[in-house]
Structure 1
Amino acid sequence: MELRHVDPRSLKPNPNNPRRTAPSEHADRQMIANIKATGITQPPVVRPDGDDLVIVAGHGRVRAAIGAGFTEILVLVRGPDDGADNLRALSENVVRMQMAPVDQWRTIEALISDHWTEEAIGGALALPVRTIKKLRLLAHIHPDMLDQIAKGDMPQESHLRTIAAAGADEQASVWKKHKPKKGQETVIWHEVARALTKRRLYAKIAKFGPDEEQAFGIVWEDDLFEQGDQDNRYTTQVEAFFAAQAAWIEANLPKNGVILQIDEYGQGKLPPKAERNWGQPRKSDTIGRYVDTRDGSVKEIVFRVPKADPKTAKKGKTGAGAGESETISEPTRTRPEITQKGLAIIGDFRTDALAKALAENEIDDFTLLGLLVVAFGADNVDVKASGYSSGLRRGLAHRLANEGRITQDAALVRKAARDMLAHVLNCRPGYHSSGVAARLVGDAIGADAHLPNMATDDFLSSLSKAALEKAAAAHSVLPRPRAKETRAAFIEHVSGATFVLPAARFALSEEEIASEFARTTERSEDDEGNVDGPAPEIGASDEDSDPEEDHQAEELD
């Protein structure tokens, strides 16, 4: 090979140039401007043909040099044609600017006619053999369609795939109806593809096996336009495919599984009042299966049917609107960015992730204290404390997360944790009581030491005569004829000391422990079989709840 200065106008174009699709005027102007600024950095490749020089690679550069007014350029002259000029021209064009698929296909076919194998072409062009096969499938496109594509009117790959899969007669018939009219430059390719569409159901979504294939007479074909590392078999036998999928569902239902009916949208229809579970399935959940009418896949929905609330069942429907029909006009609502269904899915996913993190992740004691305070300020925590409970709890939680992160201030966390527990835990009887929980916490932290002297007339007068005399006897005070005299003697005896009634201490007595265990066991048995039911609440008693006060507390929150 040798370098030679020549007039670009003297060079002859290659009749076998693979790029037949002319570039746009913008591309030509861009290349001319680039050459004027930088010159030709890579000389075109030419070969001798008699007295002429024929361009092997670099038609665009030669055309731009002429447009830029160059009278002389440097070219690389190689030997006569050795049979590989087609490959060199194709490789040059692929590297410099992506060629139109039709041009690539035509050149590949020319190489095939020169006894090149698909593997050799793919290796030389650094293209997967599957891409070579795809381009060769353009041979199945109707010639008139190819001419239209060569003009730059390229259909989407999905449309091209559908068209190539159709027969020649079908393509000719559809093209006659959808080809561009006079003065129309482009084709509405999606209409062409839709007219040639044959519904395909792929083997990769089939649940059934060879036995069902044989029983329902299903025959598979290969789709070469799909990725090479996947099962690309498909069938157009729609009814047989659906029947085979349905047979598999019926034969493989789990113990808690049901076959769902199909709604008007072709989706699985849940039973009345059923709630879909978007998170981790539970033992009590039901698994519903159906065949999706859109793509033939087997879909699965996990759901549960909530148990009827016995209190609601007893009360029945009440209210002024019962049995009446009222029309209430509501303002127009703007559609939210996430639907209620989407929010439900997100909620289930987050709940499962949070539960797993709390169970498995390492959490130091300091962080755990902070989380405790923040959790007591949550919207779903109903603490039966007096006053505006939720506002106070959220205020404490805000101390630790006022910048969107749990604080690392140890003193602040400790103070907030203590304040939260002091606010939440209540030993007073009735609606606000924390029950056994407060007693257990108090005993654990030695709260007995902070109990005040109970040897006062106010407190002792609340005791029965027998209880008073028992307490006095424990301190060697003999009973008097009247309870008032016994109280006065007892107060005088323990003057200067602290008297705490044993029954007022935090530690649970053996009788109280046995009673609490029996009550918890009874509630657990009532909830048995309902894994979604609430866990027994320590210290909570049905008798402690007042429905009217419950309603008032909800309004406060």
Structure 2
Amino acid sequence: MLLKKVDPRALKDNPDRSRRTKSTSQADALLLATIKLVGILQPPVIVPEQGGGNGYLIEVGHRRVKQAIAAGLDEIEVLEVEVSDDHGAMRSMIENVAREPLNPVDQWRGIERLVVLGWTEEAIAAALGLAPRRVRQLRLFGSVLPAMLDHMAKGDMPNEQQLRTIAAAPVDDQKEVWKKYKPSKDDPKVTWWNVSNALTKTRMYAKHASFDDELARAYGIEWVEDLFGPADEDGRYTTNVEAFLGAQQEWMTNHLPKRGVIAEVNSWGEPILPPKAERVYGKAGKSDRIAMYLDRNGTVQSVAYRMPAPKKAQGNGTSPAGDAAETPTGRPDVTRRGIGMIGDFRTDALHEALSRAPIANDTLMALLVLALAGRNITIASGTSDDVYGFARMDRHAVRLIGQDGKLGFDEDTLQQAARGALIEVLSCRENRSDSGIVARIAGEAIGADAFLPNMGTEEFLSCLSRPALEGSCKDTPVLPRPRVKETRAALVAHFTDGRFVHPSALFAPDSAALANWLAKHEAVAEDEQEEPHTELQDCDSGAEAQGDDAEQFREAA
């Protein structure tokens, strides 16, 4: 065996080497960084070329030679050995198989030794081809109880989450927990979950904080970097829970919207709204209010809600009656809260369909006529200047007026203006904005059912009676359970990645309600037909003045 220096470019690859699979780019980068900083620690093994050649073949160390060339080295040290009977096959196998990588504890001990010798974390990371964050992670082993480290070095390692919890705990706490859960002769393995669970402290993360650094300093919050968390996320945290929640409360107080409230939460983490408030599960309207609260992670959340409209006093002392109000003989299939949720879902789906679904021009004209028949529409003429809902219609009408003050638009502009006007008018919400049955007819006409959200959620299914809930199991593999909440939980789990729409939420109105509505309005239409239509007569006279455009003028009227 002879140690000598050679030009790595003069060495030839052994065609019979053991490692044929191409190494990863990360492994090559690690080896290159090491060679650049500290050189080749173990010389490659070479043998004289056989068959009349005068060169050398690489028997062991092909990657080292390749990366030495990449590093620009003119010479490297190599070990020249005699050609073996098996052409170096066993030496090549031992070189690649017999090595055992350092476990994390030994890596930490080696890093600490380098730090004592004057190496910085950045220099160590560059020499070993590691990220500086990984070097800092390994140095956290210095915060682990030595008795735990000795056991981990034997190969019984906790997972990353458990190790993070252990390293963050004070050493005195680790000693007490280790006395209880350390291995015994009968059970040499450690249940690391028990150890980490006993050392767990509630953490509040900076990524969940709404307050700024100034408010954090005012509350004495000191952030600690979570080195085991994802590298692309803000891993800072604090265990000072009271200070974190206090800063969040102050931020909510300073940023509370007009007429907003800060709500407490119940045992399920849901906000407690004011009495008689109805939660808005769709898009919040201008008249809706906002409640802000802190969830279980300490994150500021907000929900919209609306208060019921004040009831008008009745002159005859009777209570106001809705459309076809009936006294229920038992619990209805859907509670009042569920009906309100359906109204929100329908309205959002209807507006989404009006924005995105294809609508023919003739259908659009029919919808505009329907919309004017909605019960949330007030049509006035003359001196009335308080027309509900029409103030915001001006922005749609303006789009149809040209610079000369006359009607001027293209088909696309007309379509967009008509759609916008319908969105302003049509609503299924359970308040004054409810358009009534015409909104449901319009929604069915444009396929708004396809835009309804998944109702297979805990919030909505809790609004169903037991028969209605069990009826929702139809066409699913879910079978009714003895307890209602078990059936509901099974349906929620089933529809997590699917979609469920309760039949009562579909837009198509039931035949009885539709027949009553048609009968009521057809009677009004018959009465109007008995009287002369002076408006159309005026249009006819105007049409004569237009010459050949008479027919078009009459149709427009």
Give the TM-score normalised by the residue count of structure 1.
Answer: 0.45
Give the TM-score normalised by the residue count of structure 2.
Answer: 0.45
